[in-house]
Amino acid sequence: MSYSLLSDANQRLEKALRYVSLSDDVTERLRYPKASLSVSIPVRMDDGSLRVFQGYRVRYDDSRGPTKGGVRFHPHVTLDEVQSLAFWMTFKCAVLNLPFGGAKGGITLNPKELSKFELERLSRGYVDAIADFIGPDIDIPAPDVYTNPMIMGWMMDQYSIIQRKIIPAVVTGKPISMGGSLGRETATAMGAFFVIQTAMTHFSQSPAQTTVAIQGFGNAGAVLAELMFRAGYQVVAVSDSQGGVYAKQGLDIPSIRRLKDSSRGIRAVYCEGSVCSTVEHASITNEELLELDVDILIPAALENQITAENADKIRARYVFEVANGPTNSAADAILEAKGIHVFPDILVNAGGVTVSYYEWVQNRSGFYWSLDEVNRRLEQSMTAETEKIWAIAQELSVSLRTAAYVHALNRLGDAIQAKGTQDYYVS
């Protein structure tokens, strides 16, 4: 990448610092990750050859509790990216008032090129390499891009083998049969849906009058698309890594999801029973989807999708960031000047880590909740924090992103100051 993601993330921190009164100790602590680990993971491939993969784990800040964050398998994983994601996780956990700090991990590879056996050996090898760096009271990994409950189960099992006892709370996002929480797989989408529903009450616009475009039709994007479709929103465009579809009259999202699950592709279809028919639509690129004239734009793919190069072409009235860091700081200023309301990732996609927290609590207590209980608690948390951030934005006349960082900074500042700062020691 031509710029540092972490430096870009820190620009958001600097902007929010103008609106808080914190000790210099707090800002100094938050400028740097607490610990960064780079590891080499040797894997015996199915053909007998040996490949060595590069892996990372970063614990950014643990002022509020053990660190928490996903592990992604992707060709573009770098230490800078992982540090940036750990930075965002620190603020995300604070925004939702979770007793966690932020962490992230990743391995640089294309997981589609590996067999299931190779992926298992890689996942277990990663845990072998970072076992001393993680733990239920230290750092708790979770799923992220191209990782799933099966991979989390392998990781939990490998850690338990190393420790010679069953420790389900070391990893979240596990299969239900291994201590996973009901609602975890849909938590990111469900949390985003609760944010959207809460936010849209502040604008005089009904779901039936609201058009939506979603970039990214993976686990979070596809589930969110269906939630919005069933709530009456007009979802007119969706896309995956290969491109997307657009239909001005709206798409039948459940039918598209069925096609995607069966053929791994996206087409605008309508299904009745087992019979599906292609409906009129336009094929579009991911870049074209971002520039559609819609009410709500939802980037739910990868980071750095809205930049200074294309921000002026964004025509949506509201942007809800389901991906991590889809809008860079240079684009923020352009979108704000255009009057576009951007609801930031550290709020919108925090449903995943919130239900991960619920899973961790259930693992620690040995008492497991119903799906209704999980979703009730999630809705309560997402709604409350959205309203608080909206109120801060109105009170300070700042963007919603800055308001979210102010909200998180106040909570992080309280935790850091509780341990003693310069003001305490020199008074």
Q: What residues are labeled active site?
A: 104
Token couple for 404: 């979210």
Could you tell me which residues are beta bridge partners of residue 214? 238, 298
Q: Which residues contact 116 (CB under 8 A, 6 or more apart)?
A: none
- Length reported for the chain: 427
CB distance 152 to 173 below 8 Å: yes
Q: Is there a contact between 360 and 169 (Cβ–Cβ < 8 Å)?
A: yes
Q: In the chain, what's the furthest Cα-to-Cα distance?
A: 75
Which of 319, 327, 280, 275 minimizes the C-alpha distance to 297?
Answer: 319
Q: Which residues lie closer than 8 Å to 21 by C-beta, 6 or more apart?
A: none
Closest CA to 320 of 248, 398, 397, 386: 386
Strand 275-278 and strand 318-320: pairing?
unpaired
Q: Is the dihedral of CA 213, 219, 222, 225 positive or negative?
A: negative
Beta-sheet strands, E only, within 173-321 = 211-215, 234-240, 243-246, 269-272, 275-278, 282-284, 296-299, 318-320
Token couple for 35: 């610990």
Q: What is the enclosing helix (H) or strand (E) of 380?
A: helix 371-396
Structure tokens at 406: 């102010």
**Helix or strand holding residue 418 (H, E):** none
3-state SS of 283-316 is: EECHHHHHCCCCCEEEECCCCCCECCCCHHHCCC
End-to-end alpha carbon distance in the chain: 46
